[in-house]
Amino acid sequence: MAEIPTISNTTTLKKYLDLDQKGAIIAEYIWIDASGGCRSKCKTLKKKPESVKELAEWNFDGSSTDQAPGDNSDVYLRPVAMYPDPFRLGDNILVLAECWMSDGKPNAYNFRHDAGVLMEKYADQEFWFGLEQEYTLLDSVGWPYGWPKNGFPAPQGPYYCGVGTGKVFCRDIVEAHYKACLYAGLEISGTNAEVMPAQWEYQIGPCTGIELGDHMWMSRFMLHRVAEDFGAKVTFNPKPIPGNWNGAGLHSNVSTKEMRAEGGMKAIEAAMENLAKRHKEHMAVYGEGNEARMTGAHETASYDKFTWGIANRGASVRVNRQCADEGKGYFEDRRPASNADPYQITGMIVETLCGKIEG
Ligand code: ADP
Ligand code: MN
Ligand code: MN
Ligand code: MN
Ligand code: MN
C-alpha cells in the first residue's frame, strides 16, 4: 500500500481555530456506521444548547454508508448525548446520535436502542460496567507504528507498561487522547501500554447502564480523530498481527448492586451459571475475527467453551482475587474482542443475567 501524503499544517491551523465564531456554536453530530466505524458531520447552532433535548433531529445519506438503500436513503440522526468539544474548544459540542429509519424503526446498526430498553427495564439492578479498550496504532502504510519496515521488533516482554525509546510507540497520541476524553467529561479510568509494541489500552468506567456504550463510542471517535492529527491509524482488529503477538480485546467488567453488597459472591456465582448457558449467544456479538484471537494462548480462553476462575487470565471470565477474598465485587468477561460493540456486549450481559424482554 502506498504511503499517504500529509498536507496538514497544524501550526497554520491554530491561527484559524482562534478566530471568533461571533456567538455561533459548531455541533459535530457523530454516529456509528455499518462497519463499526464512526462518521460525523457538522452543523451551526445560533445558541448554546442547555440540554441534549434542545438539539434538532438531523439526517444523512445512508446509501453512502451502507446503512440504507439508494431509493430510500434518508437515515435520521436523533441526538442522545452531548459533550464539550476538545478539538474546537469554547462552547462547541460533540453530539452522539442514534440512527433511525423513516418507518420509525431503528437502523439495522443502531444497537443502542435495544440495549437502552434492557437497561431501563432492569435499572433497579444498578448495573455498572467498565470496559478495557485495547487497540493498535498503525503507520500510514498500515504496519504497526514504530516497527521496522518489512520486519519485526524483538519478541514481547519489555513493552507491556513499558517506558523508554524502543519500548513504547506513539505515547503522544495516547496522552492527547487521554486529555481529550477528560476534557469531554468521559469516564476514562486509566490507560497503559500493552504486550504487543504499538498496542495500547484505556479503560472506560465504571459507568451505569447505557452510559458505558455512549462513553466508549465517543472515546473511539476521539481516538480516531486524535490519531488523524498525528498521521497514525487506529485499528480495533482483534488479531492485527498473526503469530506470537498478543491480540486485542475489550475485557468487560460487570457488577450489580447485589454483587457489590455484602455476600455478593453468591450473585456472581449465579451469574456464572447463566453465562455458561448462553456462551454461543454471547460469542455471536463479541466481535468479528475473535476466533483468531481466542486461541487459548496469549492470556485468552478457548473460543468454544465457557470457563470461569479466580485470578485466571486463561478463563472466559475472571473473578479477581480481591473480590474472592472480600466475597463481593465484580467479574471480568474476557471474551469480547476489541472491535465488539459495547451496546451489544452490555445488552447481552443484562439479558443473560436478568432475562429477555418479550416483544
Ligand atoms: P485489568 O486488571 O483486567 O487490567 P483494568 O484496571 O484495566 O483491569 O480495568 C478494570 C475496569 O473495571 C475499569 O474500567 C474499572 O472502572 C472497572 N471496574 C472497577 N470496579 C468495578 C465494578 N464494581 N463494576 C464494574 N466495573 C468495575
Ligand atoms: Mn450534498
Ligand atoms: Mn486492563
Ligand atoms: Mn489489557
Ligand atoms: Mn482485563
**Tens of pLDDT along 27-47?**
999 999 999 999 999 999 999
Candidate from 125, 132, 331 with most ligand 1 atoms within 8 A of CB, to mutate: 132
99's enclosing H/E stretch is strand 93-100
Q: CA torsion sign, 136 to 113 to 126 to 321?
A: negative
Count CA atoms within 13 Å of residue 130 on its CB side: 17
Q: Is 137 in contact with 227 (CB distance < 8 Å)? A: yes
Gap between the Cα atoms of 307 and 279, Å rounded: 10
Q: How far is the CA of 96 from the centre of ligand 1 (A)?
A: 24
pLDDT exceeds cutoff 80 at 76: yes
pLDDT tens sequence across 87-110: 999 999 999 999 999 999 999 999
The sign of the dihedral angle between the CA atoms of 271, 113, 81, 95 is positive
User: Residue 43 contacts by C-beta under 8 Å, 6 or more apart in sequence?
Assistant: 26, 27, 29, 58
Q: Please name the residue whose Cα sits nearest to atom 4 of ligand 1.
A: 132
DSSP string, 120-172: HHTGGG--EEEEEEEEEEE-TTSSBTTSPTTS--SPSSS-TT--SBTTB--HH
Closest CA to 221 of 49, 29, 92: 29
Output the ligand 1 site: residues, CB below 6 A: 128-130, 132, 189, 203, 205-206, 251, 253-255, 260, 329-330, 332
CA-CA distance, 247 to 249, in Å (whole number)? Answer: 7
The residue whose C-alpha atom lies closest to atom 11 belonging to ligand 1 is 130
Query: CA 230, 236, 238: angle at the middle one, nearest 5?
Result: 140
CA of 356 to the centre of ligand 5 (A): 27
Structure confidence at residue 359 (pLDDT):
64
Which atom of ligand 1 is nearest to 192's Cα? 7
Asked if residues 323 and 265 have their Cβ atoms less than 8 Å apart, the reply is: yes
Strand, helix or coil for residue 22: coil
Cα 313 to ligand 5 centre (Å):
8
pLDDT tens digits, 12-26: 999 999 999 999 999
Ligand that lies nearest to the alpha carbon of residue 247, given by its number in the listed order: 4
Per-residue pLDDT band at 4 (split at 50, 70, 90): low
Q: Give the model's pLDDT for residue 140.
A: 87
Q: Is 65 left (phi over 0), alpha (psi -120 to 50) or beta?
A: alpha
Q: Is a pLDDT exceeding 70 seen at residue 49?
A: yes
What are the residues whose beta carbon lies below 5 Å from ligand 5 (ion)? 132, 251
% pLDDT > 90, the chain: 93
Centre of ligand 4 to C-alpha 106, Å, is 33
**Distance from residue 297's CA to the centre of ligand 5 (Å):** 15
Query: What is the spatial distance between Cα 28 and Cα 96, in angstroms, rounded to a whole number?
Result: 8
pLDDT at 308: 97
Residue nearest atom 2 of ligand 1, based on CA coordinates? 320
Per DSSP, which regions of 209-333 are E strands?
233-235, 250-255, 308-310, 317-319, 331-333
